[in-house]
Amino acid sequence: MHSNHLLLEEPIRMASILEPSKASFFPAMTKIVGTLGPRSRSVEVISGCLRAGMSVARFDISWGAPEYHQETLENLKVAVKTTKKLCAVMLDTVGPELQVVNRSEKSISLQLDSVVILTPDKGQEASSEVLPINFSGLSKAVKKGDTIFVGQYLFTGSETTSVWLEVDVVKGEDVVCVIKNTATLAGSLFTLHASQIRIELPTLSEKDKEVISTWGVKNKIDFLSLSYTRHAEDVREAREFLSKLGDLCQTQIFAKIENVEGLTHFDEILQEADGIILSRGNLGIDLPSEKVFLFQKAAVYKCNMAGKPAVVTRVVDSMTGNLRPTRAEATDVANAVLDGSDAILLGAETLRGLYPVQTISTVGKICAEAEKVYNHDVYFKKTVKYVGEPMTHMESIASSAVRAAIKVKASVIICFTSTGRAARLLAKYRPTMPVISVVIPRLKTNQLRWTFTGAFEARQSLVVRGLFPLLADPRHPAESTNSANESVLKVALDHGKASGFIKSHDRIVVCQKVGDASVVKIIELED
C-alpha cells in the first residue's frame, strides 16, 4: 500500500475497516517471540504457536531447571520438523533480578496499610508478614519512602495480583514496608523491583554463566537476552564470555532495557548490542506512567536508524487469562508496529497463559493490519536522510534495491547473503514487501574439523521485521559465477511459487554479488 499519509482517505478507509482481512502466506512482517513454559511446552501446543506466527522461542532461566527447559526445547525441535517452520532460540538471563521465594506455594494475602518485612533470611517461610528475598544488600540500597513492587513473573500492574510497597524503616538487613494496595500473591516465585534503585549485583550472574556454558552451548542458542543491561560494558563483558564458548561466538546479544540506568546509557548500549528489548514491565514502574510511550518511540526510532532490531514486551497481559485482548492492548500492539518495532515479545501470555496459540494468532493479525497503513514512504525518506551522504557501498545498494522494489511494485525482494548483513540492511529500509534472505553457507575450519556456517545467520533473521530466511544448498557459494547464482535463484523462486507468495507475471527484485560487484536486478516472471 503506497500512500502519502498514514491512513488512506477516510471514506475508503472506513469501508475497508469492515472488509474481512485477507489471508496471506506471511501472516505479518512483524515477528513474534513466544516464551515457552508450563502452558506451551507440548509438541502440539508449540506446533500451534509456530503455525500461528511465532518465529523465536524464548527460554527464561530465572525459573525452572535446565532439564525442564531441555525437554521443552526437544519438543520445539520436533514441532519445527513437523510444521516445517524455522524457529530461533533465545535464552533470557536472570541477571540482577531480586526474587521472593514462596516454598510452600500457598497464596499470600496482603492487606492495605498493613506491614510486611522483606528479609534476606531464606530460612523463613513466605507469609503475609514476611517475604524472604535472595539479596542481602537491599537494606543498604533503599531508604524510607522508596517504592518497591512485587508480583509473579514480573510486576503485572494489576492491583489485585501484584503489590506496591513503601519502605518505612530499615532494621539491620530487614526492610520494613507499608502495603499500599490489597493483593493476593500466587505461585512459587515472585519478582521484586525497587524503583530507581541501583542493585549492586553483576549483570551476568554466576547462575547465568553456568547455564549459558552448559545448556546454551549444547543447544547453540541464537540470541542471548541480557536482562537488566545498565551499561555498554555489560554487553561487552557478555560478548567476551560468549566468544570463549565455541559456536556461541555467533550468538547475538539483545540488551534488555529495564530501568532508568539502562535508559540513561541507551545510546552507548545500542552501539554495542545486536538488538534491544524494551522491557516495559519493569521500565514501566521505574518511569512515571506518562513517560513510557516517549521512551518507546525514542528507543524504537534509534534502533530503526541503526538498523538493529527493536523488540517490545508486555502488550496483551489480559490474554494470560482471556481469549480477547482489551481495546487498549490491541491499540498498543498496532502502535508498537507503527512506531517501527521489529518484534513483539510475549511473556506470561504464552508461558502460563490459558491461550498461547490464540494470543500469538491475535497479535499477528493486529500487526498485519497495522502494517497495511504503515507509512513506508515517509520512513524510507527519513532513513535515507539519517544515513546521509556519502553512503557506504552496502547502504547504497540496499536503499536502491528497496526503492526499485517499491517503484515496480515487486512482490518480494530476494537477497543472497552469507553473513545476513545485506539482508538486514534491506530490512532496515522497511520495504512494503517481504525480503527473502537466501543464506548461502560457507565452509570453514578450525584445523580440527570442517563446518558449514549459515544456520545461525538464517535463524537470526527471524527477529527482523519483514525478513524471511531460506538456507541454500552449500554447494552454491554466495559470491560465485552468474550461472551458479541463477540455479540458487531458481530454487528460491520455486520455493516462493510453491508457498504461494510468488505468482506468474510478478516482478522480483534480486540482490546478489557477482564476482566483486554487487548487483540489483529486476526480473518479471513468465507463466
Beta-carbon-side half-sphere exposure of residue 234 (alpha carbons within 13 Å): 29
Q: CA-CA distances (angstroms) from residue 313 to 93, 187, 333, 343, 464?
A: 16, 22, 10, 9, 15
pLDDT digits (tens, 9 = 90+) for 26-42: 679 999 999 999 999 99
Q: How many whole angstroms separate alpha carbon 118 and alpha carbon 194?
A: 12
117's grid cell: 518485612
Does the structure show a pLDDT above 90 at 478? Answer: no
- So what's the pLDDT on residue 11? 47
Does the structure show a pLDDT above 70 at 475? Answer: no
Please say whether the dihedral angle defined by the alpha carbons of residues 4, 430, 432 and 401, taken in this order, is positive or negative: positive
- So what's the pLDDT on residue 6? 47
- So what's the pLDDT on residue 92? 96
Q: How many whole angstroms separate alpha carbon 44 and alpha carbon 82?
A: 10
Average pLDDT over residues 257-265: 94
Contact 478, 511 (CB under 8 A): no
Whole-number percent of the chain with pLDDT over 90: 64
Average pLDDT over residues 49-66: 94
Q: How many whole angstroms separate alpha carbon 250 and alpha carbon 169?
A: 48
Q: Between 454 and 196, name the one with better pLDDT.
A: 196
- So what's the pLDDT on residue 479? 47
- So what's the pLDDT on residue 446? 64
Report the relative pairing of strands 162-171 and 507-514 from DSSP bridges.
unpaired
Q: How confident is the model at residue 88 (pLDDT cuts 50, 70, 90)?
A: very high
Average pLDDT over residues 104-111: 90
Q: Between 12 and 362, name the one with better pLDDT.
A: 362
Q: How confident is the model at residue 4 (pLDDT cuts 50, 70, 90)?
A: very low
pLDDT digits (tens, 9 = 90+) for 420-455: 899 999 999 999 999 999 888 777 766 666 666 678
Average pLDDT over residues 107-127: 91
pLDDT digits (tens, 9 = 90+) for 349-383: 999 899 999 999 999 999 999 998 898 888 999 99
- So what's the pLDDT on residue 79? 97
Does the structure show a pLDDT above 80 at 20? Answer: no
- So what's the pLDDT on residue 56? 98
Write the DSSP assignment of 482-527 as a string of letters.
Answer: HHHHHHHHHHHHHHHHHHTS--TT-EEEEEEEETTEEEEEEEE---
- So what's the pLDDT on residue 13? 59
Contact 435, 467 (CB under 8 A): yes
Q: How confident is the model at residue 97 (pLDDT cuts 50, 70, 90)?
A: confident
Average pLDDT over residues 64-86: 95
Q: How confident is the model at residue 338 (pLDDT cuts 50, 70, 90)?
A: very high
pLDDT digits (tens, 9 = 90+) for 139-170: 999 999 999 999 876 556 566 888 999 999 99
* Measured torsion, CA atoms of residues 492, 494, 500, 502, in degrees rounded to the nearest 10: 70
Domain with CATH 2.40.33.10 in the chain: 102-194
Q: Using H for helix, E for strand and C for coil, what is the string for 364-427?
A: HHHHHHHHHCCCHHHHHHHHHHHHCCCCCHHHHHHHHHHHHHHHCCCCEEEEEECCCHHHHHHH
Q: How many whole angstroms separate alpha carbon 226 and alpha carbon 236?
A: 11
Interhelix angle 327-339/356-372, rounded to 10 degrees, is 50
- So what's the pLDDT on residue 8? 44
Q: How many whole angstroms separate alpha carbon 91 and alpha carbon 58?
A: 6
pLDDT digits (tens, 9 = 90+) for 213-232: 999 999 999 999 999 999 99
CATH architecture of 376-525: 3-Layer(aba) Sandwich (3.40)
pLDDT digits (tens, 9 = 90+) for 386-415: 999 899 888 999 999 999 999 999 999 999
Please say whether the dihedral angle defined by the alpha carbons of residues 275, 344, 13 and 19, taken in this order, is positive or negative: positive
Q: Compute the mean pLDDT over every residue in the chain, rounded to the nearest whole number.
A: 88
Beta-carbon-side half-sphere exposure of residue 514 (alpha carbons within 13 Å): 13
Q: Which CATH superfamily, name and number, covers 28-96+203-372?
A: Phosphoenolpyruvate-binding domains (3.20.20.60)
Which of 30, 28, 35, 31 lies closest to 281, judged by CA?
35
Whole-number percent of the chain with pLDDT over 70: 89
Domain with CATH 3.20.20.60 in the chain: 28-96+203-372
**Assigned fold of 102-194:** M1 Pyruvate Kinase; Domain 3 (2.40.33)
Contact 166, 146 (CB under 8 A): yes
Does the structure show a pLDDT above 60 at 503? Answer: yes
> Which residue in the block uniquely carries the three cell numbers 522480483?
508
Contact 185, 110 (CB under 8 A): yes
Q: How confident is the model at residue 2 (pLDDT cuts 50, 70, 90)?
A: very low
- So what's the pLDDT on residue 501? 79
Domain with CATH 3.40.1380.20 in the chain: 376-525
Q: How confident is the model at residue 492 (pLDDT cuts 50, 70, 90)?
A: confident
- So what's the pLDDT on residue 53? 95
Q: Using H for helix, E for strand and C for coil, what is the string for 216-275?
A: HHHCCCCEEEECCCCCHHHHHHHHHHHHCCHHHHHCEEEEEECCHHHHHCHHHHHHHCCE
